[in-house]
Amino acid sequence: MRDSEKQPETKNPLESRRNFLRGSAAMATMFVAPGVMLYRTSIAKSDDAGADGSVRWGMLIDTNELTEADVDACVSACQREHGWRDTGHPETDAQWIRKVKLRDRESGHQKFLPMMCQHCENPPCVDVCPTGASFKRADGIVLVNKHTCIGCRYCMMACPYKARSFIHENLHDQLPVAPRGKGTVESCTLCVHRIDRDGISAVPACAEAVNSASRKPILFGDLNNPKSDISKRLAELGGMKLRADLGLNPGIRYQGL
C-alpha cells in the first residue's frame, strides 16, 4: 500500500514521456497501418495492374481433336459463363462463340471448329472505333468498353472474322462477370474475368469444357513465354492464323486446317 502510494512520486519523468511516446506510436500504427494496407491493396487491384504487358494470351485449337459435340460444349460453356443465350432470333441474337462446319470443296471432308474473336495483335475493330471503346489490353485481349461504345457498329463492318454481335434487344438476368448493354457491341472476352482472378493458371470456359487430364484440344496460355505449353506445342506442330494474309496476327491459332 505504501509502495503503491509512493510510486507516482518516485516515477521518473523521462519514463512517463517514453510511455507517452510509446502509446502514441502504437495508436498511430493502429490507425495508419490499415490505411497503408488498404492503399497498397487498392494499388494492387487497380485497372492498370490488371493487364500484364509482358504476357500475350493466346489459344491453340486442334480441330483434328475436336468433335462436333466438343464444339457444342464450348458454345454452351460460354453461354453459361457470360449469360448470352439463344432467344429464337438467330439473325439478331448475340453469339460470342459459334460452331462453324467446314467442308472441303474437293474431298468433301468435314470438320467443326469454334469461332470467336481472334484477339488480333493489330485489330481492325480497334483501328476503326471512333471513340476508342474498342481497345486492346496490354496482355493482348481485345475488349469493348461498354461505357463509351456508341453503337455505331463500324467495328462489326471492319472485323474479318464476323466475331462481334450488336445487342438488338432488352436484356434480363445479366451476370456480374459479363456486363452487357442494349445498343452496344460485344464479343468474346477470352474470359478476362478469370484471367484477372486466377492469373497464369486461368482457363477460359470453352477450353475448360473440352479439356481433361487425358486430352487438351484447346490450349490456353502465354504466347510470349517460350516455356508455356501453348508455345511449345506451336513450336513443335505449328498453328494456322485465319486470314493470315491480312497481317493482323491473331492470338487464336488453329491446327488441322
- Which positions from 24 through 53 interact with other proteins, judged by CB under 8 A? none
Say how many CA atoms lie within 13 Å of 153 toward its Cβ.
Answer: 8
Q: How far is the CB of 123 from other proteins (least distance, A)?
A: 11
CB of 254 within 8 A of CB of 102?
no
- DSSP-derived secondary structure letter, 241: P
Nearer to other proteins, 93 or 121 (CB): 93
**Distances 158 to 79, 98, 124, 130 between C-alpha atoms, Å:** 25, 19, 6, 12
Q: Compute the distance between CA of residue 218 and CA of residue 203 in angstroms, rounded to an integer.
A: 10
Q: Does 59 bind other proteins (CB under 8 A)?
A: no
Least distance (Å) from other proteins to the CB of residue 130? 4
Task: Give me the least distance between CB of 247 and other proteins, in Å please.
Answer: 9
Task: Mark residues 73-92: x for contact with other proteins by CB under 8 A, - for none.
Answer: ----------------xxxx
Give the chain's length. 257
Q: Among residues 19, 24, 131, 174, which is the contact residue for other proteins, using CB under 8 A?
A: 131
- Using rule CB under 8 A, residue 21 touches other proteins: no
Binding-site member from 33, 38, 43, 102 for other proteins (CB under 8 A): 102
In whole angstroms, the minimum distance from the beta carbon of 37 to other proteins comes to 35
Euclidean distance between CA atoms 228 and 222, whole angstroms: 6
Radius of gyration of the chain (CA): 27
**Helix (H), strand (E) at residue 10:** helix 2-10
> Cβ 193 to other proteins, closest distance in Å?
23
Gap between the Cα atoms of 241 and 248, Å rounded: 9
Tell me the β-bridge partners of 116. Answer: 97
Interface with other proteins includes 127 (CB under 8 A)?
yes
Q: How far apart are CA 170 and CA 177, in angstroms?
A: 18
Asked if residue 55 binds other proteins (CB under 8 A), the reply is no
- 180 touching other proteins, by CB under 8 A: no
Contact, 164 vs 156, CB < 8 A?
A: yes
Q: Which residue in 132, 199, 226, 238 binds other proteins (CB under 8 A)?
A: 132
Binding to other proteins by CB under 8 A, coded x per residue (else -) over 147-176, reads: -xxxxxxx-xxxxxxx-xxxxxxx------
Shortest approach of other proteins to residue 240 CB, angstroms?
10
Residue 123, classified by CB atoms within 10 Å of its CB into exposed (0-12), middle (13-18) or buried (19+), is buried
Q: Give strand pairing partners of 135.
A: 143
- Please, are residues 164 and 117 in contact by the beta-carbon 8 Å criterion? yes
Footprint on residues 187-226 left by other proteins (CB under 8 A): none
User: Residues binding other proteins: what is the number (CB under 8 A)?
Assistant: 54
Q: Which residues bind other proteins (CB under 8 A)?
A: 89-95, 98-105, 115, 124, 126-132, 148-154, 156-162, 164-170, 181-185, 242-243, 246, 257
